[in-house]
Amino acid sequence: MFKHKLPLILVLSSLLTTACVQNETRPTVSNEQLKSALSDSESRIQNQLSQQCQKVIDNQNKHQAGLQSFSKEQQVTRKQLDELNHQVEQLSEKLAQRAVVESAQTAQVAAAANSQSCPPPAPMTLGDKLVLGQSEWLWIEAVNRVFPARVDTGATTSSLTAQDIVTLERDGQKWARFTIVPEEGSDNSYEVEAPIARIANIRQSSTNEIDKRPVVRLTIKIGNMTDTAEFTLTDRSHMNYPILLGREFLKDIAVVDVAKKNVQPKPELLTDRASAIPKKAEQANPKASEEE
C-alpha cells in the first residue's frame, strides 16, 4: 500500500518545493512604491495632454492671426475699391459733361454751317463760252423742273419731248399745250403751255418726208446761264433723254467736250414759285395743284 502512495507523495512534494521557490523569488512592492509609480505615470500622461493642448492652442492662435490679417487686407481692398468707384463716378460725370459740351458745340457748328450756305460751284468756261459735256442738266422755267438733256452737235435744232400737242389761240397769238413725259413708261408727266414761235419743217432721215413741228420758245437754265431757247416739239419718250440741244442753241455760247458728262452744276429749283406737279400726283390729289 505504501508503494502505491509513493508517487503521489513525490508529486505533492515537488509542487510544494516549487511553490516555496516561487514565493522566495517574487519581489514585494510596497504601497509607497505603487503610489510613486502611479504618480509618475499620471505626470507623464498630464505632460502629454498638456503638450497636445498647447499644440492645439498654438494652431488656433496661428489660425486666428491669419484670420485677423486676412480681415485687415480685406478692409484695405474694400477701401481701395471704394476709392476706385468714386474715381469712376467722377470720371463718368466729367465725360457726360464733356459730351454735352461737345454736342452743343457740334450743334453750333452745324447751325453756323447751315446759316452760311456754300456758294454754288463756279461753272466751267473756256474764255467767254460754257464748257458742256455730252449730257447736262437743263432747268425749264415753265414747270420749274430740271431734266437731263443730250448735247448733240450733229443736230441743227433743239427738241423737247412732247405728247398730246394741242394748238390754241390766246390774245391773237398761237400757243401750244403739250405734255412732257420724261421717259417711256413713266407715270409722271407735266403739262406745259408756251407760245409758238414758228413751224419748223423737219425732214425725216428714214422716209425723206417733211414733218411740220411747232417750235416753242422757253426760258431755260444750264449751269449758271439763263437764256431763252427754241425747241421743236416731238415725242422723245422712247429716247434716253427727253431734251436734245442742237447747234443753233450751242453756237456762240458753248464748247462741247464729248468725253465728259454733266460738266456744269445742276441748276436749283426756284423757291419763290411752285414746281409743276406730275399728272399722276394731280389725279391722286386734285387739290395739290390748287394749294401750290
pLDDT, tens digit, for every residue of 230-285?
999 999 888 899 999 999 999 989 999 999 999 999 999 988 776 666 665 455 44
In angstroms, the CA 163 to CA 272 distance is 28
> What average pLDDT does this structure show over 1-17?
58
Grid coordinates standing for 4?
502505491
To the nearest whole percent, how much of the chain has pLDDT over 70? 78
In angstroms, the CA 110 to CA 103 distance is 10
The 10 Å Cβ neighbour count of residue 115 is: 7
Alpha-carbon separation of residue 8 from 5, 11, 19, 23 (angstroms): 5, 5, 17, 23
pTM, two decimal places = 0.54
Answer positive or negative: Cα dihedral of 172, 174, 179, 181. negative
Grid coordinates standing for 240?
434716253
In angstroms, the CA 288 to CA 142 distance is 18
The structural domains of the chain, with segments of one domain joined by +, span: 40-118, 125-291
- Mean pLDDT for the chain? 82
290: pLDDT strictly greater than 70: no
2: pLDDT strictly greater than 60: no
Superfamily of domain 125-291: Acid Proteases (2.40.70.10)
- Tell me: the pLDDT tens digits for 248-263? 999 989 999 999 999 9
